[in-house]
Structure 1
Amino acid sequence: MLVTRTFLQQLAPADIVPAVVPEEPVEITRVSVPAPEFSRFLYATVGEAYYWTDRLDWSWQRWQDWVTQPGFESWVCWSGGAPAGYAELLGSPGEQGTEVKLAYFGLLPAFTGRGLGGHLLTTALRRAWSLSGRHPDFPPVSRVWLHTCTLDGERALPNYKARGLHPYRSEQYERELTRPTGPWPGAFPGED
């Protein structure tokens, strides 16, 4: 299948266009004790619908290395005591300042279509721009960026643009689609 990947960025925190705060009560908190098991759960559960497979074969140690690297943060949106979605940030200090990649972002299937994605993205972008304040060895943030592709949800690219991220490059590539099993076989809504 031919897939289009789009790269988007913000060059100043003033570029953030906040979403409407959802009516249902949610809390977005930073994971203060990195847990490979929890990170893998979020990745597999959110990504199952979008063919996220690149990390499914990672060992526990590789997950541990990922979640404990300098500049890594995981922010989780909670609704009714359950994880509703998450955002992974990865800061990289450079000569021009710290660049923060929004490495992974999304909602669990039961929480899509409820107005949570825009609010979670707004919060993730604010946390990305303030990352160097939580990591004193990092210079101030100069850029926040991400990429999305046509395999992601239909609301992904419009949400990124609506929050003030600007496309700066796109590319196409071929991808063989193999549906991952998520946290268990048949976990994707509509599969029996």
Structure 2
Amino acid sequence: MSQRQDKLPETLITTYLEMLDPLWFRPAYRKDTQDLMMVQMGYPDLEYYRFLYRAVGEIWRWRDRLLLSDTELAAILASPTTTVNVLLIQGVPAGYLELNQQDTEVEIAYFGLRPPYWGQGLGKHLLSYGIAQAWQLGVKRIWVHTCNLDGPYALENYLKRGFQVYRTEEQPMPQRYVPSDFAGEFIP
């Protein structure tokens, strides 16, 4: 499985996708699910959430939620419009999916797997679960964005599940994604 590229691109390319009808949805669940369990976080456990965020996103340079204060992050996670679903395999967190509902739309805000669980069909399974959950909320649109810092199969997975691209943006690479020269840390 591909790792994050060592050389950071000079340009951040962000692709926005949407699904406007449940008929567009092409689910791809794993057939063998006896060891899988989806669990919704019931309260805003900041340490657990940050563990998930880092475990899934560190390799892809996810930074946004790590830059939030405890108060800001707790407000997001405690909001009735936010749900965080954790994929457990034999009781171990393999990945998670975060949905954020705004009126008649749901954003797949964060989604991914921990590296040991790549290449097992779990990404399409977790994404399918999240899409199904979003449509059950009675919304009219589900949207997501991905970029050229995300996993190499992210965009393909979204397209295969039925999302369609509606916008692409390019910008110089934001400084928060550039590693500093000090101890491999990132500059906020």
TM-score range, shorter chain: 0.7 to 0.9
Task: Indicate whether 1:33 and 2:43 are aligned.
Answer: yes
Residues 57-136 of structure 1 mapped to structure 2, 5 A cutoff: 57-93=67-103, 98-131=104-137
Residue ranges of structure 2 left out of the alignment (5+ in a row): 1-9
Residue 125 of structure 1 aligns with an amino acid whose one-letter code is I
TM-score, normalised with respect to structure 2: 0.84
CA contact (8 A) 1:51 1:179 kept: no
CA RMSD of aligned residues (A): 1.8
TM-score, normalised with respect to structure 1: 0.83
Residue 87 of structure 1 aligns with an amino acid whose one-letter code is L
Could you tell me how far apart the structure 1 residues matched to 2:43 and 2:64 are?
Answer: 24
Aligned partner of 1:135 in structure 2 is none
Aligned partner of 1:165 in structure 2 is 163
Aligned partner of 1:21 in structure 2 is 30
Could you tell me how far apart the structure 2 residues matched to 1:20 and 1:55 are?
Answer: 29
Structure 2 SS opposite 1:55: helix
Structure 1 SS opposite 2:171: strand
Could you tell me how far apart the structure 2 residues matched to 1:10 and 1:143 are?
Answer: 6
Percent identical: 39
Aligned residues: 170
Aligned partner of 1:50 in structure 2 is 60
CA contact (8 A) 1:76 1:86 kept: yes
Residue ranges of structure 1 left out of the alignment (5+ in a row): 132-139, 187-192
Structure 1 SS opposite 2:71: helix
Aligned with residue 154 of structure 1, among 135, 152, 155: 152
Could you tell me how far apart the structure 2 residues matched to 1:57 and 1:3 are?
Answer: 19
1:22 CA drift (Å): 4.9
For 1:53-92, what per-residue CA distance to the aligned partner results, in whole angstroms no more than 9, with x for missing partners? Answer: 1221222211111101131100111012110011100000
Residue 41 of structure 1 aligns with an amino acid whose one-letter code is F
Give the ranges of 4+ consecutive aligned residues of structure 1 lying more than 2 Å apart after TM superposition.
Answer: 22-25, 176-180
Structure 1 SS opposite 2:66: coil
1:114 CA drift (Å): 1.3
Could you tell me how far apart the structure 1 residues matched to 2:90 and 2:179 are?
Answer: 29
Aligned partner of 1:134 in structure 2 is none
Aligned partner of 2:5 in structure 1 is none
CA contact (8 A) 2:97 2:130 kept: yes
Could you tell me how far apart the structure 2 residues matched to 1:130 and 1:74 are?
Answer: 15
Residue 121 of structure 1 aligns with an amino acid whose one-letter code is L
